[in-house]
Structure formats: structure tokens, C-alpha cells
Amino acid sequence: MKRIFLLGLAALMAVSCSKSNTAVIDAQIDGADAKQILVTKLSVNQLRFVDTLRTDSKGAVTGKIELTEETPNFYYLSYNGRRLVSLVLKPGDKVKVTADTLGRNVTVEGSQESVLMQKYDMDLAAAVSKFESLSSQLGKAMEAKDAKAEAQLNAELSKLYVKHKQNTIKSIMQNPYALANVQALYQSIMPGLPVFGGENDHFIFQRVHDSLATLYPESVYVKSLQEQIKAAEDLKLLAGRIENAEEKSFPNISLPDVNAKNVELASLEGRPFILMFWAVADPNQKMFNNELKEVYNKYKGQGLEIYQVAVDTDKTAWATAVKEQELPWISVCDGKGAASIAVASYNVTAIPSIFVFDRNGDIVASKNLFSKENIEAAVRKAIK
């Protein structure tokens, strides 16, 4: 009886352990002597605080993270506002992490998903660094009016972008059941330049969803991915309408302003107006807004209005930017980023995107509007 009881107790303990709702993180953060490491969790489109881990005098810490779901979730370790490590954790995981306080020299062990996440992060960081360097060189070539160097650098930028995209697709195909692939789908080389933002990228989103849905049908990330795919399908249906919008009434949208009051685009009917999509995260937008102010102030007396949609998920950062920049026109944001109905309604695939409408609600211009001169010419046409 005693033997049976011990075996039964051991079996009971094994079952209990197998149902543990915790994950253990064993971290060594060089330079973080007796400091707090912030643990956050991705909740579809926003980060939520989970816990803090305090390192010892040598930067070491071991902590248990309480997990609320059995399916894997995205977690991040941050120090002093800087993200150090991206992790995919599920109940029972024991992950060992090393890094420094700048997020360099990162290694992850004990979780294949987290190792893959780190690979995606490192590959993207390398691509972004090269892209920024080439972009800087391109800017200098353009200032010097060196057409040959400009053409060569543009070719190198395109090659870099395509190569990174190909490598990411290869990794996704090699790891079809990895949840880390979801985050890879939403990489951006720079604001307004997503890795998977083309019309023909629909298949890779569908491929990732179909693979993960077999393992994690209840995952919030998988469900969100399905919604994104559905939105892309709806967007294709709208594409023809937008292309011929000069002959049709514009699609109405209603979004909240900084005072949380919904403002309809249709309220501008009968007036010439500009519809613009932008992102606070892009530093170039502040300069562009200053130029747009000049056009607005010049023509507002003739009825011109601007309806500016922020494609951001951080509504606090957006509202702060609107107030700091003293934007005088209608500024709206629903905090849904690329999943916003406004983005789908106007087939927006890059930012900034600008549409100029006349008094009849017809689009008079929607391309090559990236200078004050071009916008002003379109506005003059709309006012006639």
C-alpha cells in the first residue's frame, strides 16, 4: 500500500506540474546591477504590464511569470524604456536569457519559439541598419545631383528590401507552426515601409494563419490574423472603387478626434478638402505638417478643410503630437493602426497617403502629392 501510495502521489505531482501556469525566466543582464526589468505582454495591438524582475548586483535574476492562457503568448523584457529581448512563452517553459542593457549580445535558450523570435529581431535590426545607411547616402547623392550614384543606391535599397523579405519567407516556411511567424508578418524596414505590405502578400498571411490555426485555434493572435486576412479581402473588393473614385462619391468614415468625439468625413461634403493618412512615429511627418499648414492657412478662407487620419495604435502619443504641433484641422484616430476601417476604405498601403477632393466630393488628385507645390496645385484645382 505504501508503494502504491507513493506512486500515486508521484503521478499526481506529475499531473500537477504538467498543468503549471507559470514560465520561468533565468536572465543575466550585464550592466543592470540591482535594477528592475519590466515584463510586458502583447495583447493583439497593445502592450500590457505583467511584472517586474529585480536583478542582483551582478545583473542576474530568476523569476516566475504567471501565464493566464495555455496557448503561447508574446512577452518582452525591457530596461529603462529599451526592449532587450522578445520571447514566446507557454506554461512550463524555462527560458535562459543573456543580454546587456542596450539589448545587444542577446542569447536565448530553452524555447525554440523564443530563439526564432530572436533571429527575426536580429535579422530585422541588421536590415534596418543597412537601409538607414544607404538612405543617408542616397540623400547626399540627391543633394549633389549625382544621378549615377542615386540610381545605384536606389538599386541597392531595393535589393536589400527584397533579400530581407525572401529570407523572412524562407524562415516562415521552414518553421510553419511557430507563433513567432505572426510577429514576422508585421515587420517594417522603416515607418510606412512594411516587409509584407504588397498586394501579393496575402498568400503568406493565409499560409501562416492556416498552419497555426491547426495548433492554436483559440489564440487571440491567430484570430486577429484571420480578421486581418478578411480585411485584406474586403480591401481588394474596394480597390476598383477607389481607382475610379473621380467618378463616384467618396467612402464615408467616422473616427474620434482628440476629444473622443466622432467626426464624419461626409460632414465636409460641399467643401474642397484634403484627406491625409499619416503616422506620428515617422519624424518626417512633422516637417510635412508644417508645409501643409502653409497651404491650409492660404486657402482656408476659400473653404478648404483637412481631415487627417493617424494610422497609429498609441492614441496618447498621437493626441500629444496633435497638441504639440498645434494642428488646426480635423485630426482623428481610432487606435487600430493598419486594421482601421479608414485604411481599408481608401486602400492605403503606404504613408503618407493624400487625397484631394473638390466641392462635389470627387477626387481631383491622389498621386505624387509629396511636396507643398503639388498639393497646392491640386487644391487650386479643387477650389475652382
> Contact at 8 Å (CB) between 127 and 160?
yes
Which residues have a Cβ under 8 Å from the Cβ of 95 and sit 6 or more positions away? 23, 24, 25, 26, 87, 89, 108, 109, 110, 111, 114
Residue extents of the structural domains in the chain: 20-110, 117-241, 249-383
- 249-383: CATH topology is Glutaredoxin (3.40.30)
Contact 85, 106 (CB under 8 A): yes
Q: pLDDT per position in the chain (384 positions), as tens?
A: 333 343 343 443 444 444 468 999 999 999 988 889 999 999 877 888 999 999 999 999 999 999 888 889 999 999 998 999 999 999 999 999 999 999 888 999 999 999 999 999 999 999 999 999 999 999 898 999 998 998 899 899 989 999 999 999 999 999 999 999 999 999 998 877 889 887 678 888 888 999 999 999 999 899 988 887 877 766 565 555 545 444 445 788 999 999 989 999 999 988 999 999 998 877 788 888 999 999 999 999 999 999 999 998 889 999 999 999 999 999 999 988 877 888 877 878 778 889 999 988 888 887 667 788 889 999 999 998
- Fold classification of 20-110 is Immunoglobulin-like (2.60.40)
- Count CB neighbours of 337 within 10 A: 17
What's the predicted TM-score (pTM) here?
0.58
323: region left, alpha or beta (phi > 0 left; psi from -120 to 50 alpha): alpha
Other CB atoms within 10 Å distance of the CB of residue 46: 13
CA distances to 177, 309, 310, 340, 353 from 348, rounded to whole Å, are 30, 11, 12, 10, 7
Find all residues with CB under 8 Å of 44, minimum gap 6, and list them. 220, 221, 224
Residues ≥6 apart with Cβ < 8 Å to 142: 150
